[in-house]
């Protein structure tokens, strides 16, 4: 079987030919990402260099391909870049793919393995590592921040970096999020914004306010909205 489904606090996994295919796909993607010409906010590298603790890196789901490419290649003083991934069947495949391109997955969501994933995430941040989160994933709607990211900001109290990713020339898949694949050797712009969460903002109303901040900041950093950046 190519998939194993476990119960309780466990999660879907993949094996066999599916695992091998994802490893090969990861090698192709890493080679593809290496051709891209990144233009980054000059403060981006400082996030990894200067923070004694880790942080949450928030971006839209359809910007994952180019966004992860630049984050993985920034000097992180030997620390690891993690990604929060659903414990579902689709999440199992994404998890193995992310491993193949140099990220480590944390498996969990608000409905499954939430407590386990939160404890793992807290350890990761305390160790100085960083966690990438797609705020409108895994199923959207596209460009609509879901409550999960706001909940994690509240629960961890970690510094937040919003990432805007715009591609000079790209293809878009016919998926719910119009997933963006930058063309080889094209230019990719990375913009950023920071947010420091107040530990006093712990209730439901405050969580809603944080969700609105997430929406507003990422909207501001994403001016192309499925259009190729000029």
Q: What is the dihedral of CA 140, 56, 104, 125, to 10 degrees?
A: -150
E strand residue ranges, 80-202:
81-85, 104-107, 130-134, 160-167, 170-172, 180-182, 187-195
- Mean pLDDT for the stretch of residues 60-65: 92
Q: Which of 91, 83, 77, 96 is nearest to 56 (CA)?
A: 83
pLDDT at 6: 38
Give the span between the Cα atoms of 77 and 48, in whole angstroms.
Answer: 7
| Strand pairing report for 180-182 and 170-172 | antiparallel
Give the span between the Cα atoms of 87 and 93, in whole angstroms.
Answer: 10
Name the 3-class secondary structure at 78.
Answer: coil
Domains of the chain: 11-220 (3.40.1130)
pLDDT at 199: 64
Question: Which tokens sit at 48?
Answer: 């990894």
Res. 4 pLDDT band, cuts 50 70 90:
very low
**CB within 8 Å of 49: residues ≥ 6 apart:** 75, 77
Give the span between the Cα atoms of 43 and 193, in whole angstroms.
Answer: 9
Res. 79 pLDDT band, cuts 50 70 90:
confident
What rounded mean pLDDT belongs to the chain? 82
Answer yes or no: are the C-beta atoms of 60 and 218 closer than 8 Å: yes
Assess whether pLDDT exceeds 60 at residue 230: no
Measured at the alpha carbon of residue 55, what is the angle toward residues 229 and 208, in degrees to the nearest 5? Answer: 80
Res. 227 pLDDT band, cuts 50 70 90:
low
pLDDT digits (tens, 9 = 90+) for 161-185: 999 999 999 999 999 999 999 999 9
pLDDT at 32: 93
Looking at 55-64, 70-79, 156-165, 180-189, which range is the least confident one?
Answer: 70-79
Surface-to-core class of residue 21, CB atoms within 10 Å of its CB (0-12 exposed, 13-18 middle, 19+ buried): middle
* DSSP of 142-176: TT---HHHHHHHHHH---EEEEEEEESSEEE-SST
Give the span between the Cα atoms of 37 and 39, in whole angstroms.
Answer: 7
Q: Treating both helix axes as pointing N-terminal to C-terminal, what angle do 16-33 and 89-100 enclose, rounded to 10 degrees?
A: 50
pLDDT at 2: 34
């Amino acid at each position: 079987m190519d998939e194993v489904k476990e119960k309780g606090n466990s999660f879907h996994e993949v094996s066999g030919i599916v695992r091998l295919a994802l490893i090969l796909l990861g090698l192709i993607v890493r080679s593809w990402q290496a051709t891209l010409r990144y233009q980054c906010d000059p403060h981006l590298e400082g996030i990894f260099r200067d923070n004694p603790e880790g942080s949450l890196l928030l971006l839209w789901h359809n910007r994952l391909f180019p966004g992860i490419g630049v984050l993985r290649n920034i000097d992180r003083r030997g620390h690891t870049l993690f990604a929060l991934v659903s414990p579902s069947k689709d999440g199992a495949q994404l998890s193995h793919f992310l491993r193949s391109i140099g990220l480590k997955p944390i498996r969990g969501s608000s409905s499954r393995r939430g407590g386990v994933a939160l404890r793992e995430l807290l350890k990761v941040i305390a160790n100085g590592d960083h966690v990438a989160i797609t705020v409108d994933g895994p199923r959207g709607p596209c460009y609509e921040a879901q409550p999960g990211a706001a909940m994690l900001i509240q629960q961890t109290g970690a510094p937040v970096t919003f990432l805007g990713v715009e591609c000079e020339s790209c293809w878009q898949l016919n998926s719910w999020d119009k997933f963006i694949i930058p063309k080889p050797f094209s230019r990719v712009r990375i913009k950023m914004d920071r947010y420091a969460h107040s530990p006093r903002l712990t209730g439901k109303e405050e969580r809603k306010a944080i969700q609105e901040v997430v929406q507003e900041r990422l909207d501001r950093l994403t001016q192309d909205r499925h259009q190729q950046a000029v």
